[in-house]
Chain A
């Protein structure tokens, strides 16, 4: 009887280890689902019109455009009379005011797209696209450059720039404003910074 109880307890213990391992493996396999990934993928989803195209994303972030953004006076980048932009909202104003562009640092995006649900090809040395001479425009949607993401202190707001280069007169750069709503990142505004 004692032996049976011991075997039963051992069985429960072993099962526990298997379940724990399985859980950790799940956590491990969803490594790509970081906060950064969630922000970038929300933007890619919007940029693909919700259809989930394949993307070539530059492996390194590009901080130039976000550094040049005038966080103290974002109106400088607008000609419009749209009154409900987030930049006029007090919470956003505080967040933007606190940004110190000199502290923005580029980083490698490899880990951000590991295990994600998007088909993203990271452009890297000797493996990337061949812009512009032998591009096949039947399949090429451009190369995307993301900036590092700036999060607000409470992690409920985020800002990021996206640049997409398709051809010498088909390129654009946009700053995107996102907010966390019900646990999900949502694009709440954007400003087109250049189009060519």
Chain B
């Protein structure tokens, strides 16, 4: 908590975003079923230590010469969970895109803590609700990248969208797509990072529109929401 406050003071726009997200529903809800509850748990926990920072995340180039960017990453380091935002992404993306990424990475932080504390009293409930993170023997699956994104895609996209919509309303952000409601626009964005999952293949309604809207927000395109503080 202290680390988050210290760090987000340095990055005032990030500070505003996470404060806004928490302010939307300050009551501690059930963290097992609820995205807001997860974020509240991370921010308000006295034992979990999640730090948010900004840094350059180098591109990775494959043998075809394609450069691959990572917008943000969540890591465990020396007893803390660190969310690192790529400054290239922060410079390019809209506030709404950054808010979406903040929710996305906060959920990873929650999962990292959930998986790492098998002696915690909440662990068995965590396992039941987030069964996709575990293999048939009940151990965390080896490929947590796939597992965590599957879990988000299957269970949480509507909640991510609802939270994002509230954030947008609070910040006077409107849907930039004529005929598409703000909630539906946020539903498109909520799939960001979940492409390639089974949930995306099965349930994402208009994939080309979704992928286009995600890219537009990530790059502050003139047809995006265009609100930029970061």
Contact = CB atoms under 8 A, between A and B. Distances in A.
Interface of A: 43, 46-47, 49, 58-60, 62, 76-82, 122-132, 135, 137-138, 140-143, 145, 163-172, 174, 176, 187, 190, 192-196
The 8 A-B pairs of least Cβ separation, nearest first, read: A172-B145, A128-B64, A169-B193, A80-B116, A166-B196, A196-B73, A59-B63, A137-B195
Residue of A46, A163, A169, A192 with most chain B CB atoms under a 10 A cut-off: A169
Given A171-B145, A176-B142, 12 more contacts: A82-B118, A124-B63, A130-B64, A143-B62, A164-B145, A165-B60, A169-B72, A169-B104, A170-B193, A171-B70, A172-B145, A196-B72
Interface string B48-74: 000000000000101111101111111
B101 A169 contact: yes
Interface residues of B, number: 51
Contacts of B74: 194-196
B119 interface: yes
B72 A170 contact: no
Given A81-B117, A169-B193, A170-B193, A129 B66 contact: yes
A123 B64 contact: yes
A137 B200 contact: yes
Contacts of B66: 128-132
B218 interface: yes
A167 B195 contact: yes
B24 to A, nearest CB: 21
Interface stretch (B33-41, B75-83, B176-184): B75-83
B108 interface: yes
A137 B80 contact: no
Contacts of A142: 196
B71 A128 contact: no
Interface in B142-163: 142-146, 148-149
B153 to A, nearest CB: 10
A98 to B, nearest CB: 23
Nearest to B82: A194
A196 B105 contact: yes
Nearest to A164: B145
Contact of B142 (A77, A169, A187): A187
A131 B201 contact: no
Contacts of A79: 76, 79-81, 112-113, 116
Contact of B118 (A81, A131, A138, A167): A81
Contact of B116 (A59, A82, A137): A82
